[in-house]
Every structure is written in structure tokens, then in C-alpha cells.
């Protein structure tokens, strides 16, 4: 009996020592990890070796005490709950043992030995958990693509391909089950915790797809982006991710149709991509309109109540106790009021606290809806008798023009998003001071509405390669790029040798410039290469061809070979290459080939592009062939991205607002100078006074010309850029000068796209969606 006890003691000591050594090694490489043993105890009278586990071995202990009369189901429920808790690495179940006949001392010794053995398993479980958390090589299985000729419609192509279950794709690219939040079988939100798991993982290569000044038809940047990642992953076997903007439903039902790419270079299912997706735009709409409702309600209540009545309602007595909410305490601090007891404020302090004194004429916040509705461009609200004569003129914007959308695209996490939402300026008081969402007390509610929208949505291309779809800010009054968070997640997932391909809206003079000066400045990410998309038809337009109009057949100049028009139009291509070089980033020109392009035209464009400084210029056939049609582009991108570049910003944030605007106008657009209206100059003075002068600039200008004149094609010169007005998105973090009139609410054409959209009531298939 003595020998047995000695043997047990030696085994016990050996296990304890090994556990300590393994724990030490774990903590050296993973200082934030806390291996935890959960002990479920039934009845308080039994001995639990929790202190021993904690002090002698060094494990964290989570102790759960259940009552003696608990049922078996309650114990099982607790076990299941702990199994889902990522903080727990082992469970020790301690049930009553009233039938035991051994001495208490032997029972304690036995319990301690069992605990040690369990601790050993917890330590080993922690080691396995660490291994699971490490970056894993992709095991991507591309989907086979069999292109047809002639090429069917986008929706027919999308429907003919069966997408992988989204859980399978997630597993193939190294996502853990707990990092995925499925929305059906083909799309899922990805949790931001991935950034913590891969915080030490090097980023992959960062590729921006931009374009020359487009025709009203667009030149296929989304299609090039999708075709490029299909080529990289499905054909070159390189990890790659596309990061795309979520389209607004306004254009989808209006004039443009879908935005999931096209032909055999699409995101699928295209119906889900183009419609509700995972509800992010609906969340933005709800949050935006909550702010609008809060503004008008506050103006009404302040106009119809005394200070005392306002204070009583803003800080009510609940169960006999009055206290400020946390957001009200923050407002008191901004006002310089240091009291925390509502009864201690002076009448003057009460007045300062309850009166925002918003000037109805200076409210800048608009309501939004995700529909093209021209009759909402100017409206009157507050006409009911219940609003007591407090009517005012206002307007609706399209949902994606909301500042909340721009914030979603630029934020780096929940805390940052909440802070940005709170800084949003909604108008001015009668003394000219800015009023924010924090002042309205609505910030926390906005964060709640946006807590799911902050997670990027995972989808796939036609060839089964991964895509993040996230955010879709306007490319004129905002920066027109998908989210920083999607890019950051993707850069970690692809690994050091992988590629993340993202797209900038409009031409390079707008979307690319804002990508560099705003998005990259915010994210700290540095691009490796720019893919500049061009088409023969757009170059012909810039060379002097007739106007191109959506919905109208192309003139013969765009169908027949015309080398002179192409050569003359390449001036715009050369200028856009030069703009990218201002930022020190190399350029690969992707010529998006159409069936009307001739070989002579294609070869001419590629020669001129390379002579103009492009590192490579290749023709792309992804629309008709899928990823196989962009292999040459993928090879060029791989080669150029491996070379070192000298990325730099165009201006310093400490430059004056005027100087930053002038720098963009002269160096990017080619203007001789800028001209400020009196209103614009007054706004600059105001923003400088408020401390907003060091924000980056987001120019709101037509995308149809390098200048402010849409009809001026090619490379206009000798013009002065007029700055009509200047506005600010303080939460998003930029100032946006208005060059001409900018519409933030599109209208429906005579024959909108919705005429062709329908639903089969038997199969539930959508028809006519592009």
C-alpha cells in the first residue's frame, strides 16, 4: 500500500512539473492566452482542488457551483454552454459521492490526482487550440467553368453554376467555424476576431483596380477585378481575394442593373449580391433615419417646453432615483460641467445641458432611402398639426450617400466606429457651433444598429474563389471604395504570397486618388500595384468620337476600326498612368476587350500604354472566358507586385485646406488653378476655426471628365476649377469640396430596369436581373 502511494505521488509530481513547463512555453509564445479549466461543482460540501489547480499548476479556474437538487438536464446544459465558450479549454465535472466509504484524506488525495490528470489534458488542449489558431495553407478547390459562345446573360451564367456551401469555402481558406456567421448557404458574415488571431501574420500583396475616365456605360472595373482573382486562384494556384463594394438597390432597379461583375467573371449568386445581401444598407438606412428623427424631435421639444420640463424628461426619476446616462455624462464634460448628481446643476447649467438650440435652417443631416426617387430631392416635413407649425424644407439622399456608409467603409473596429458615429456633425446651433450625434445622445443606439453591418460578407466567384463584399460609399461626395476592414481581413487570410484585389469607383483621377489619400492614410496599408482598366470604346470617345449614351446603340465609330481615334484617345490613358506614378505606384494596364475591338486597335493601345510608363499592358478576355481569359494579366500583376515601390501621399495633412484642394486640382486634374466662391471661402474659415483643417480632401466632381466639365474629354487644359461649396463629414474624417452641382438622389429613367425583373412563383427564380 505504501509503495503504491509512493508510485502515485511520483507520477503526480511528474505530471505537475510537465504541466508547468508546457504552460510556461505557451505563455512565452502566446502571452494573451489564459488556459482555463472550468469546474462544475454539484453541492458545496465536496472538496474542490481549485486553489491547487490555480497556484500549483498555474491554470485559470472558472468555478460553477450548482445546487444539490439540480437535475441531470441542468448539468448537461452547463456542459454544453461551456463547450461553446472559447475561453474554456477543459471541464472538470465534480458530482456528489455520498456512497464513498474511504477516509476523507484518501478522497482528497484521489481528487487531487484526478485534477492533475485533467489539468494535463487542459494544457494539451490549449496547445492544440494554439495550433488550430495558426495560419493554415489554403485547400481551395476551384469550381470548373465551361464558357459558352455566344455568352449567355449574366443571370443565366450565374444560375448555371452551383456555388460551394459557404461553410466549405470558409474552411478551405482557413476560417474557423466560430468566425463565421452564415446567412443561408451561400453568404456569411466574418467576425473581426480574425484580426486578433492573425495579428502577427504578414499581409499579402495589395492590388488596386482603377480605370481611365469612363463612358456613361462604365468600362468593367468590377469584371476585371473578378476575372483577375479567378485567374490568380483557379489558374495560377495563388491565394487571392476580391474586395468589392455592395451595390445600391437604387441603380439595380433604375438604369444600371447589377454590379456583380459580368459574363464569366461574376460574384455568385448574383441575385443575392445585387439585392438585400446581409442587410447592411438597411442597417445604415435605419441608423441614418434615427438621427434625422432625433434632430426634428429635439427641435420640436426644445421649442415647446421650458428648461425645467425638458430637464425632467431628459433625466427622469426611475424608482425614485435620478441619474445621468453615460452619454449624458459625456455631454456634461464637453460643456465643462463637473457635476454627476442631477440635483446639483445650477439653472444656467441645466439650460446649457438641455438646449442644443439647433438652427432648423442649418441642419445638414438628411433622411435616406435605397431607391432612386427624384421627388424626394426637396420635401417639406412637419406639416401635421401635431408638429405645431415646426415645418421645414429638407431632402432625401440615396442610402449609400449617408455619412454612416462612409464611416463603415473607413472604420477599423467597433470602438472606432462608435467614436466616428458620435463625431458626426448634424447641423449648427444659432451661435454657429457644430452639433453632433453625441450631443443628440443617439450614438450608442447607432452602434447597436450597426454592430452586424461592420462584419464583411463572404461570397464567391463563378470559379469558387473568395470575395468580400462590404460597404459601398458614393464615389463623389465620399471616397467610393470598399471597406478597410474587408481589405485587412483579406490581406491576413491570403498569406504573405497571396493577393488582395480591390476596386476604386469612377476613374483613377477620382476613385484612385481618394483610395490613396483617404483610405490608405486611414488604414496604414500600402498598395503594391495599380491595375488600370481601359477599353477601346472609351479611348475612341476621348479621341473625339461621338457621345455615348446609356440605352442607345453605339455609333459606327465605336463598332468599326478607327486607329486614329484610339491613338488620340490614349492621351487620357497616359494621364491616368501619370497620376498613379505621382503616388509612386507601378501600373499594369488591363485592356478590357469587346467583340467589336480589332487586333490592330488592341495592339496599338498596349504599345502606347507601355510607352507611356505602364509596367505592362495586356488584353483581357475574362468576360467571355472567365479566369482563363485573364491569366496574362495575373502573371503581369504577380511580376510587378513583387517589385519594390515608393508609395507616397500627394499632400501633407498639415497643408491648408486651400493648398490641398489646389494640389489635387493641378497635379491630378491638370487645372491651372482653383477659384473659391464666397460660400466656399466662408466654410473654409469656419472649418479652420472648428479645428477641422487637418482632414484629408474628398473632391466631389464629375467622373466623366478630368475637368469639371463633363463634355470635355481626353486631357483638358487651361481651365480654372471652380469650388462652389465645401462641406465636411467629420465622423468619416474628410472635407469634401463641391465642384459644380452634385445630385445625391438619382432619378428613375423613362424605362427603368424594373420593367424586366420578375419572379417565377413556382421555382422562386428571379428573372431579368441584368
Give the pairing type, strands 734-738 and 725-729. Answer: antiparallel
745 vs 98, higher pLDDT: 745
With bands split at pLDDT 50, 70 and 90, how would you rate the model's confidence at 66? confident
Tell me whether residue 475 is one of the annotated catalytic residues. yes
pLDDT at 254: 80
pLDDT at 109: 41
Q: Give me the mean pLDDT over the 686-703 stretch.
A: 96
Tell me whether residue 594 is one of the annotated catalytic residues. yes
323 vs 29, higher pLDDT: 323
Options 506, 515, 734, 770, the catalytic residue: 506
Q: Which of 34-48, 284-298, 372-386, 657-671 is predicted with the least confidence, judged by mean pLDDT?
A: 34-48
d(CA 549, CA 545): 12
pLDDT at 56: 66
Options 205, 245, 492, 727, the catalytic residue: 245
Options 164, 221, 455, 660, the catalytic residue: 221
Write out the three cell numbers for 451. Answer: 454592430
pLDDT at 251: 81
Q: Give me the mean pLDDT over the 728-735 stretch.
A: 97
Q: Give me the mean pLDDT over the 443-462 stretch.
A: 98
Q: How many CB atoms lie within 10 A of CB 653?
A: 13
Which helix (H) or strand (E) segment holds residue 616: the answer is strand 616-620
Tell me whether residue 623 is one of the annotated catalytic residues. yes
With bands split at pLDDT 50, 70 and 90, how would you rate the model's confidence at 752? confident
Q: Give me the mean pLDDT over the 396-418 stretch.
A: 97
pLDDT at 257: 60
Tell me whether residue 50 is one of the annotated catalytic residues. no
Is the pLDDT score of 58 beyond 90?
no
Options 231, 287, 475, 732, the catalytic residue: 475
Q: What letter would DSSP give residue 432?
A: S
Options 223, 394, 465, 702, the catalytic residue: 223
pLDDT at 87: 81
With bands split at pLDDT 50, 70 and 90, how would you rate the model's confidence at 98? very low
Write out the three cell numbers for 685. Answer: 474659415
Backbone angles phi, psi at 158, to 5 degrees: -60, -45
Is the pLDDT score of 372 beyond 60?
yes
pLDDT at 104: 37
Q: Give me the mean pLDDT over the 394-421 stretch.
A: 96
Greatest pairwise CA separation for the chain in angstroms = 103
Q: Helix H segments across 305-356?
A: 307-314, 326-334, 347-354
In the block, cell 480591390 appears at 502
With bands split at pLDDT 50, 70 and 90, how would you rate the model's confidence at 188? very high
Options 623, 692, 719, 770, the catalytic residue: 623
Q: How many CB atoms lie within 10 A of CB 427?
A: 19
pLDDT at 256: 61
Is the pLDDT score of 3 beyond 50?
no
Which residues on neighbouring strands pair with residue 700, listed in sequence order? 738
d(CA 383, CA 361): 16
Summarize pLDDT for 36-55 with one digit per residue, the tens: 888 887 765 455 556 666 66
> Among residues of the chain, what percentage have pLDDT more than 70?
92
* Listed ranges 20-24, 37-41, 186-190, 550-554; the one with the highest mean pLDDT: 186-190
| Average pLDDT along the chain | 90
Is the pLDDT score of 101 beyond 50?
no
Q: Give me the mean pLDDT over the 571-578 stretch.
A: 98
19 vs 486, higher pLDDT: 486
Q: How many CB atoms lie within 10 A of CB 583?
A: 21
DSSP string for 71-129: -HHHHHHHHHHHHT-TT--EEEEE---TT--S-HHHHHHHHHHHHHHHHHHHHHHHHHH
d(CA 499, CA 487): 10
Options 164, 189, 197, 256, the catalytic residue: 256
d(CA 79, CA 87): 14
Q: Give me the mean pLDDT over the 573-599 stretch.
A: 97
Tell me whether residue 506 is one of the annotated catalytic residues. yes
Q: Give me the mean pLDDT over the 402-423 stretch.
A: 98
100 vs 268, higher pLDDT: 268
Is the pLDDT score of 435 beyond 70?
yes
Q: Give me the mean pLDDT over the 586-614 stretch.
A: 97
Is the pLDDT score of 14 beyond 90?
no
Is the pLDDT score of 685 beyond 80?
yes
pLDDT at 391: 92
Q: Sign of the C-alpha dihedral, residues 309, 314, 320, 324?
A: negative
> Considering just the CA atoms, what is the radius of gyration of the chain in Å?
31
Q: Which of 11-15, 43-47, 433-437, 693-697 is predicted with the least confidence, judged by mean pLDDT?
A: 43-47
Write out the three cell numbers for 157. Answer: 451564367
Q: Which of 72, 39, 71, 73 is nearest to 53 (CA)?
A: 39
What is the pTM (predicted TM-score) of this model? Answer: 0.89
pLDDT at 378: 95
Options 109, 113, 129, 594, the catalytic residue: 594
With bands split at pLDDT 50, 70 and 90, how would you rate the model's confidence at 477? confident
Q: Which of 104-108, 170-174, 225-229, 733-737 is predicted with the least confidence, judged by mean pLDDT?
A: 104-108
Q: Give me the mean pLDDT over the 161-169 stretch.
A: 97
Q: How many CB atoms lie within 10 A of CB 465?
A: 26
Contact criterion met (CB below 8 Å) for 215 and 209? no
Is the pLDDT score of 9 beyond 70?
no
With bands split at pLDDT 50, 70 and 90, how would you rate the model's confidence at 630? very high
Summarize pLDDT for 283-336 with one digit per residue, the tens: 999 999 999 999 999 999 999 999 999 999 999 999 999 999 999 999 999 999
Summarize pLDDT for 109-154 with one digit per residue, the tens: 445 445 567 677 676 776 766 667 778 899 999 999 999 999 998 8
Angle at 191 between CA 489 and CA 236, to 5 degrees: 35
Q: How many CB atoms lie within 10 A of CB 568?
A: 18
Q: Give me the mean pLDDT over the 396-413 stretch.
A: 96
Amino acid at each position: 500500500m505504501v509503495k503504491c502511494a509512493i508510485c502515485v505521488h511520483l507520477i503526480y509530481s511528474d505530471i505537475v512539473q510537465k504541466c508547468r513547463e508546457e504552460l510556461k512555453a505557451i505563455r512565452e509564445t502566446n502571452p494573451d492566452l489564459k488556459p482555463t479549466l472550468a469546474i462544475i461543482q454539484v453541492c458545496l460540501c465536496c472538496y474542490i482542488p481549485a486553489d491547487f489547480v490555480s497556484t500549483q499548476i498555474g491554470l485559470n479556474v472558472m468555478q460553477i457551483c450548482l445546487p444539490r437538487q439540480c437535475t441531470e438536464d441542468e448539468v448537461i446544459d452547463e456542459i454544453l454552454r461551456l463547450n461553446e465558450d472559447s475561453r474554456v479549454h477543459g471541464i472538470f465535472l465534480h458530482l456528489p459521492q455520498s456512497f464513498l466509504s474511504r477516509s476523507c484524506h484518501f478522497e482528497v488525495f484521489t481528487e487531487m490526482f484526478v485534477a492533475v490528470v485533467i489539468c494535463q489534458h487542459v494544457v494539451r488542449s490549449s496547445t492544440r487550440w494554439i495550433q488550430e489558431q495558426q495560419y493554415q495553407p489554403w485547400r481551395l478547390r476551384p469550381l470548373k467553368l465551361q464558357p459558352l459562345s455566344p455568352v449567355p446573360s449574366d443571370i443565366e451564367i450565374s444560375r448555371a453554376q452551383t456555388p460551394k456551401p459557404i461553410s466549405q469555402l470558409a474552411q478551405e481558406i482557413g476560417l474557423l467555424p466560430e468566425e463565421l456567421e452564415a446567412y443561408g448557404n451561400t453568404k456569411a458574415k466574418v467576425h473581426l476576431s480574425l484580426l486578433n488571431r492573425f495579428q502577427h501574420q504578414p499581409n499579402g500583396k495589395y492590388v488596386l483596380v482603377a480605370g481611365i475616365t469612363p463612358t456613361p456605360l462604365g468600362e468593367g472595373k468590377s469584371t476585371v477585378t473578378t476575372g483577375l482573382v479567378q485567374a490568380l486562384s483557379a489558374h495560377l494556384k495563388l491565394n487571392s481575394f476580391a474586395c468589392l463594394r455592395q451595390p445600391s438597390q437604387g441603380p439595380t432597379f433604375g438604369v444600371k442593373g447589377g454590379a456583380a461583375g459580368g459574363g464569366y467573371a461574376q460574384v455568385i449568386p448574383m441575385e443575392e449580391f445585387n439585392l438585400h445581401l446581409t442587410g447592411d444598407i438597411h442597417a445604415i438606412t435605419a441608423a441614418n433615419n434615427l438621427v434625422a428623427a432625433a434632430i426634428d424631435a429635439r427641435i420640436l421639444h426644445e421649442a415647446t417646453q421650458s428648461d425645467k420640463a425638458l430637464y425632467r424628461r431628459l433625466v427622469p426619476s426611475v424608482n425614485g432615483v435620478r441619474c445621468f446616462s453615460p452619454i449624458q455624462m459625456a455631454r456634461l464634460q464637453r460643456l465643462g460641467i463637473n457635476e454627476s448628481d442631477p440635483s446639483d446643476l445650477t439653472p444656467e447649467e441645466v439650460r446649457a445641458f438641455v438646449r442644443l438650440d439647433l438652427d432648423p435652417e442649418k441642419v445638414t443631416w438628411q433622411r435616406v432611402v435605397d431607391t432612386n426617387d427624384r421627388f424626394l430631392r426637396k420635401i417639406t416635413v412637419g406639416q401635421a398639426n401635431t408638429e405645431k407649425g415646426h415645418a421645414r424644407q429638407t431632402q432625401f439622399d440615396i442610402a449609400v450617400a449617408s455619412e454612416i456608409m462612409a464611416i463603415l467603409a473607413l472604420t477599423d473596429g467597433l470602438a472606432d466606429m462608435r467614436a466616428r458615429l458620435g463625431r458626426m456633425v448634424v447641423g449648427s446651433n444659432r451661435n454657429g457651433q457644430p452639433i453632433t450625434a453625441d450631443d443628440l445622445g443617439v450614438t450608442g443606439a447607432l452602434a447597436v444598429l450597426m454592430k452586424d453591418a461592420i462584419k464583411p460578407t463572404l461570397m464567391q466567384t463563378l470559379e469558387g474563389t473568395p470575395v468580400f463584399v462590404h460597404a459601398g460609399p458614393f464615389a463623389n461626395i465620399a471616397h467610393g471604395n470598399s471597406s478597410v476592414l474587408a481589405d485587412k481581413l483579406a490581406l491576413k487570410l491570403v498569406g504573405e504570397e497571396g493577393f488582395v484585389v480591390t476596386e476604386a469607383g469612377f476613374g483613377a483621377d477620382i476613385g484612385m486618388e481618394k483610395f490613396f489619400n483617404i483610405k490608405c492614410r486611414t488604414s496604414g496599408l500600402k498598395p503594391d500595384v495599380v491595375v488600370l482598366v481601359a477599353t477601346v470604346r472609351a479611348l475612341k470617345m476621348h479621341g473625339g468620337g461621338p457621345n455615348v449614351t446609356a440605352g442607345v446603340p453605339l455609333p459606327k465609330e465605336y463598332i468599326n476600326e478607327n486607329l486614329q481615334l484610339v491613338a488620340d484617345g490614349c492621351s487620357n490613358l497616359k494621364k491616368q498612368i501619370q497620376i498613379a506614378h505621382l503616388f509612386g505606384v507601378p501600373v499594369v494596364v488591363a485592356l478590357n476587350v469587346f467583340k467589336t475591338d480589332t487586333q490592330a486597335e488592341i495592339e496599338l493601345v498596349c504599345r502606347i500604354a507601355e510607352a507611356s510608363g505602364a509596367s505592362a499592358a495586356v488584353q483581357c478576355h475574362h468576360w467571355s472566358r472567365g479566369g482563363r481569359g485573364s491569366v496574362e494579366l495575373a502573371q503581369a500583376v504577380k511580376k510587378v507586385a513583387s517589385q519594390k515601390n515608393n508609395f507616397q501621399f500627394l499632400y501633407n495633412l498639415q497643408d491648408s485646406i486651400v493648398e490641398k484642394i489646389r494640389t489635387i486640382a493641378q497635379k491630378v486634374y491638370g487645372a491651372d488653378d482653383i477659384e473659391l466662391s464666397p460660400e466656399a471661402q466662408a466654410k473654409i474659415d469656419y472649418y479652420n476655426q472648428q479645428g477641422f483643417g487637418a482632414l484629408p480632401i474628398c473632391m466631389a466632381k464629375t467622373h466623366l471628365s478630368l475637368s469639371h466639365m463633363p463634355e470635355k474629354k481626353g486631357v483638358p487644359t487651361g481651365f480654372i476649377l471652380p469650388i462652389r461649396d465645401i462641406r465636411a463629414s467629420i465622423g468619416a474624417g474628410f472635407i469634401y469640396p463641391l465642384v459644380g452641382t452634385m445630385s445625391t438622389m438619382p432619378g428613375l429613367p423613362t424605362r427603368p430596369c424594373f420593367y424586366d425583373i420578375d419572379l417565377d412563383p413556382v421555382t422562386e427564380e428571379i428573372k431579368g436581373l441584368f
